[in-house]
Structure 1
């Protein structure tokens, strides 16, 4: 039976091997990407088309953060109030045909 200390030493050795393997694979991946970029003359905008990513914003495919502004889809003619169609519907559009309020 292996002792606790021996298992800890094995784990440390495995973690070192894992880190080394990851470094090697990342280096190979970066090398392949650079070769493809050079071969096809790609730019960062070709690979990451969202301008937010290029300006240091979100990562492509990540969820948008809360509070993102959305254009309104509905307007109440009497008051000019608007609603995006997200969240709980305001009272002026509840139980009404939404098509007549569409912007």
Structure 2
């Protein structure tokens, strides 16, 4: 019966051999694909379209125009009125001031 260390050494050796075989086959496969792409005039964009995706940049959802400032705090803090109320304004409202008193 083999010991655990012997089996682990065999596994490591086999993994190294598998990586070498994969690297050799990968190079040959890539060369074959490139030759076929050239023969048929296939581009990367053609492949992307065939997979249903495009290489065009995707919009991030942010426009180039930031929202205008609607509120300004006593220390120059600003808020557009979108999203959660900032801490500086929430503290002032908790003190009894109105948010409209900070409107720009």
TM range (shorter): 0.3 to 0.5
TM-score normalized with structure 1 length: 0.48
TM-score normalized with structure 2 length: 0.47
Larger radius of gyration: 2
Greater share of helix: 2
